[in-house]
């Protein structure tokens, strides 16, 4: 089944925790990373099938907006394997095996 990445960037850690909690409760996705990018911005990243990630990101945005400011959200359907080799998104070993 094709996998997708979903990201929500917000201003403030509390909004990101709220988004992450809502995402994993709303659909069958796995929270694989969060990144503090400076200036109070934090991004939560989930992985799962495309439909689940879409539902999770929608729920995460709705809930995070109740707590703080959502800066951006984005879904990448079927990211290239090179993404997994470079970014810490929970599939580095699988990507290395698939690429040989």
pLDDT (mean) for 77-86? 82
Q: Do the Cβ atoms of 62 and 30 come closer than 8 Å?
A: no
The total number of structural domains in the chain stands at 1
CB atoms within 10 A of CB 98: 11
Looking at the domain assignment, is residue 99 inside a domain? Answer: no
pLDDT 10s digits, 27-39: 999 999 999 989 9
Domain membership flag for residue 87: yes
Question: What CA dihedral angle connects 58, 64, 66 and 67, to 10 degrees?
Answer: 180
CATH number for the domain spanning 59: value is: 3.30.70.1710
Which domain range does residue 16 map to?
3-91
Residue 100 domain-assigned (yes or no): no
**Is the predicted pLDDT of residue 84 greater than 90, yes or no?**
no
Token duo for residue 63? 């809930």
Q: What is the model's pTM?
A: 0.85
* CB 98, CB 83: distance < 8 Å: no
């Amino acid at each position: 089944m094709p996998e997708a990445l979903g990201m929500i960037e917000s201003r403030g850690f509390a909004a990101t925790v709220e988004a992450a909690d809502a995402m994993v409760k709303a659909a069958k996705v796995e929270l694989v990373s969060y990144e503090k990018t400076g200036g109070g911005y934090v991004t939560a990243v989930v992985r799962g099938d495309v439909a689940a990630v879409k539902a999770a990101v929608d729920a995460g945005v709705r809930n995070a907006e109740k707590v703080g400011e959502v800066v951006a959200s984005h879904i990448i359907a079927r990211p290239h394997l090179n993404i997994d080799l470079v970014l810490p998104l929970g599939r580095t070993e699988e990507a290395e095996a698939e690429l040989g």
